Structure 1
Amino acid sequence: MAAPTESHGSEHSAKLLGFHEMGLDDRILQAVSKLGWKEPTLIQEKAIPLSLEGKDVLARARTGSGKTASYAIPVIQKILDRKQVTREQCISTIIMVPTKELGAQAHKNILELTTSCSREVRCVDISGKGDLPSQRPLLSENPDIVVGTPSKILAHLVARNMSVKDSLQFLVIDEADLVFSFGYEDDIKELLKHLPKIFQTFLMSATLNDDVKALKKLVLHNPVILKLEESQLPEAGQLTQYHIKCEEVEKFVLIYSLLKLRLIQGKSIIFVNSVDRCYRLKLFLEQFGIPACVLNSELPINSRVHIVHQFNDGLYDIVVAADDQTLLDPAQTSAAPSKKQKRKYQDKEFGVSRGIDFQFVTSVINFDFPSNVDSYIHRVGRTARGTNQGTALSFISVAEMPMYEEVQETLSKTSPEGADSFKPYQFRMEEIEGFRYRAQDAMRAVTKVAIREARLKEIKQEILNSQKLKSYFEDNPRDLQVLKHDKPLHTVRTQQHLKHVPEYLVPPMLRSMRAGTKRRQPHAYKPKPAPTQTQMRFKKKKEDPLKSFEFSGLKHIQNAKKFKKKKH
């Protein structure tokens, strides 16, 4: 076997090759134009021509750099080329993803790229839609592209719901660095037995770790390795990273004051490290009238996808997300779960900080600092995507300092800004000391019992919602907007006074800014003055039917007398 060739891209290289210069079908170019893509990203410009030449590609590029289109476009082009020669319908492409959410996203992206050739190129997503018998009809039509998790694809191959031994031309493994850590190593080894010996492979990854190297040996043949010379996170001009050193109670005080004083605006994702913390924070914010929806591995897949869609559509601004434990610590996948862990259902094919395409996220808040460098990179990668600006704010306790220092050291090696990537958030804790008592009051109300009840209530409600989404809402898409996920859970006693911030609690600097804003308003509201006693008596007289009674003919007599006087 020939040694793999390596290619290093640079953002400062020559002018990018345009989509129209890649020899793509007009229908693909039309879809690209409709999506508003003026020019390819660095990974697309490097990977698409190599893929069209028939080479296996292992590409490493950061989150949000356009990796999905870099393999989807050449796959669609090759399918269109094949259908000019033969009309035989067969499964020619398998796209494997580590999470159901990423499967839904990849399927959506492919549908967008095939809007002008949807009859010629058909794609189905089997990652999260029911059991094998319900999915069999989808595969019986031999769609061109099948998207799914390795375990789901293997199950269908074993059940003979689909056969690709003679038809497969392309195998794509997206987010390859997560596939083994999610426990799919045995599935992939078994799955390869059902595939032909020769096919073209794409491996897309944000990092080139040992898992990716092991996967490369299994599926790649003389690949071109694309290592793009770019930092793992966007530059400081696009992404601003702040940190605040604080303890547990101060984290809750800070999040309450920052959101209530509107120092954080726009769409935000708040990351925590466990499902319990997810509901603790939601119930805490709920007491102050701050709506937020939770996103974690306990919720049904339909609800999780729907939450992301509604968040992207702007129906709510705050998502409290719990990272999947296998992502936080991949070593946990090999460890045997405890009895307590077995009792709690968690979907292993779930990951919040990876794969899910959150759109137009203004800020990412690490309420709990992540437990490894990759997790930090992928959490923060949810904002500042494409050309959008973004902010990342991390709360760091004393116990989390070693991890913070490790992240800072790693980023300083890959980022041109070096150690200056993190900036201290200029915030005086003493100015929000008045918020502390309210926060502590709200924290005491969020008991373990309240959290447990909230989890049970949310899961029951979302299971019901999931069934509705699966059946009724397929026929009534407009009604989807009514089904929201950020409603209060009401497992904690609500104190109405906590929903309002009195003026004396507002820091002096913000108070003066508020006052200045009011003075600048040209049409400021002015309350009407209280009525005088004379006005009140007159009003009372008019309301009294006896005193306000007038003989209708009296006015005519008076007017006649006035007319006669004027005449004489």
Structure 2
Amino acid sequence: MSFPTLGLMPALVQAAGEVGYFDPTPIQQAAIPAVVRGQDVLGLAQTGSGKTAAFSLPLLQRWAQAPRHRSRRAVHTLVLVPTRELAAQVGETFRLLSVRLHERPRIAVLFGGLSINPQMMGLRGGADIVVATPGRLLDLLDHNAIRLDAVQALVLDEADRLLDLGFAKELGRVLAALPARRQNLFFSATFAQAVEALATQLLHEPLRIEVEATPETVPDIAQRAIEVDAGRRTQLLRHLVNEEKWPRVLAFVATKHAAEVVADKLRKAGIEAEPFHGMLGQGKRSQVVADFKASRLQVVVATDLAARGIDIAQLPVVVNYDLPRSAGDFVHRIGRTGRAGERGLALSFIAAESEAHFRVIEKRQGLRVPRERIAGFEPVEVATAPPATSPEDTAGGIKGRRPSKKDKLRAAAALEAAGRAGAAP
């Protein structure tokens, strides 16, 4: 199957080829014809499977074919994403794929961390396609800098994350500003129960696409698990970077403080390393990503912010310095490597107290990763029986299959807001 057979116009097929999209991936084969027809879509496929092109190509075609009679540009397509980096990445994909259109859309990429004034100025002439994080979009709505009453298509990219981290309330406010009649597209690598509930409420007879991992589509990611005492993980990371001669490593930690501390220790050991987390200014975050892509940095020590926002071509290694809170986040983390047909390595440090967590992650993945020990770093600590738990004790653990109280509250808030939006005239 080729892109022309999916119903795309020649200009988009040509642009796709120029950025390296020659043969459509399974998610693109299933989603593109449906989106071109105007159908709602619920798309589930692993990280690196081509989801962004699966919605950007057909939505560019729908915009190009839509009648436009008003002098002021009205927002036709709204894409909501959870992070600044993902917003920039998705916006760039729309820009690259639209270069051959006879009339090119005006694309606005909106996110926080920067002064709002330039973005307000940039919206004075209107925008056809908006890619935004929910918080900054609401700021601009409050300033009357943008209107969403003419939106024809809504995309939730990384839909599960948009119902996490307090996004549900913001998402409800955005939905209330949209017209009741529109095309809705949900895409993600994982779907929590809250997403399923919202999809049931908002999507109208959607095409549900679940791309199962197969030998042809699953990323080529080898996994390793190394047992090590928690206090020696930084030394082990430094040892592996030097011994394995990894050109670039993305190491995930649990907190912003850990990102700063680990990166600082690596720098003192002579390794070019920088932290990456939400408390950094946007300029610093953009510089870290640019330096990492250009191989001026060997190690980036990041919180889970990078699990959804950084797309680094030919990233050979991801290290779980700290294990993630959930199995879903584990999938997104290791999906930063092994992209676009490249081979990748995902390595996890297993301390005594995190062994039980890792077994839950293995169970959710349906695999068992053999444990290794590195000479000179053999662990001496042993796991102890956990004390009686409290909410604080369990905040960093692995989530179970049942939704938490917070998950239920977020889903309820989103559904209530969605109901109000759907009932609007």
- Same fold by TM-score greater than 0.5: yes
**For 2:182, which of 199, 202, 222 is the aligned residue?**
199
Task: Name the % identity.
Answer: 29
Task: State whether residues 114 and 282 of structure 2, in contact with CA within 8 Å, keep that contact through their aligned partners in structure 1.
Answer: no
Helix, strand or coil for the counterpart of 1:310?
A: helix
Helix, strand or coil for the counterpart of 2:209?
A: strand
Deviation at 1:302, TM superposition (A): 2.5
Helix, strand or coil for the counterpart of 2:309?
A: coil
In the alignment, does 2:248 pair up with 1:267?
Answer: yes
For structure 1, the 5+ residue unaligned runs are 1-16, 324-350, 413-417, 434-568
Helix, strand or coil for the counterpart of 1:290?
A: coil
Q: 1:117 to 1:315 in 2, by over 3 A?
A: farther
What amino acid maps onto 1:282 in structure 2?
A
Distance of 1:403 and 1:232 partners within structure 2: 27
Runs of 4+ in 1 over 4 A off after TM superposition: 85-88, 231-236
1:36-47 correspondence to structure 2 within 5 Å: 36-47=20-31
Partner of 2:228: 246
Helix, strand or coil for the counterpart of 2:306?
A: coil
TM-score norm. by structure 1 comes to: 0.63
Partner of 1:188: 171
Deviation at 1:314, TM superposition (A): 2.3
TM-score norm. by structure 2 comes to: 0.83
Task: For residues 147-205 of structure 1, give each alpha carbon's deviation from its aligned partner in whole angstroms, at most 9, with x where no partner exists.
Answer: 1112222332333222232x211111110101111212222222222211211111111
Task: For residues 268-301 of structure 1, give each alpha carbon's deviation from its aligned partner in whole angstroms, at most 9, with x where no partner exists.
Answer: 1111111222222222222321121111111012
Partner of 2:135: 151
1:504-519 correspondence to structure 2 within 5 Å: none
Partner of 1:424: 371
Q: Which has the larger radius of gyration?
A: 1
Partner of 2:386: none
Deviation larger for 200-209 or 150-159 = 150-159
In the alignment, does 2:88 pair up with 1:134?
Answer: no
Task: For residues 221-269 of structure 1, give each alpha carbon's deviation from its aligned partner in whole angstroms, at most 9, with x where no partner exists.
Answer: 2211112222799758x211001111124323322222223x1422211
Task: State whether residues 129 and 135 of structure 1, in contact with CA within 8 Å, keep that contact through their aligned partners in structure 2.
Answer: no
Q: 1:407 to 1:304 in 2, by over 3 A?
A: same
Distance of 2:278 and 2:102 partners within structure 1: 33
**For 2:334, which of 380, 397, 402 is the aligned residue?**
380
Q: 1:252 to 1:313 in 2, by over 3 A?
A: closer
Q: 1:118 to 1:269 in 2, by over 3 A?
A: farther
**For 1:221, which of 190, 194, 204 is the aligned residue?**
204
Distance of 2:214 and 2:324 partners within structure 1: 19
Partner of 1:544: none
Task: For residues 387-428 of structure 1, give each alpha carbon's deviation from its aligned partner in whole angstroms, at most 9, with x where no partner exists.
Answer: 00001111100100011110111111xxxxx43xx2334x54
What CA RMSD, in Å, does the superposition of the two structures yield over aligned residues? 2.3
Q: How many residue pairs were aligned?
A: 377
In the alignment, does 2:66 pair up with 1:82?
Answer: yes
Partner of 1:298: 279
Deviation at 1:56, TM superposition (A): 0.4
Task: State whether residues 170 and 201 of structure 1, in contact with CA within 8 Å, keep that contact through their aligned partners in structure 2.
Answer: yes
Helix, strand or coil for the counterpart of 2:160?
A: helix
Q: Considering Cα pairs closer than 8 Å and 6+ residues apart, tell me whether 1 or 2 has the greater RCO.
A: 2
Helix, strand or coil for the counterpart of 1:140?
A: coil
- Higher helix fraction (1 or 2): 1
In the alignment, does 2:356 pair up with 1:356?
Answer: no
Partner of 2:387: none
What amino acid maps onto 1:366 in structure 2?
N
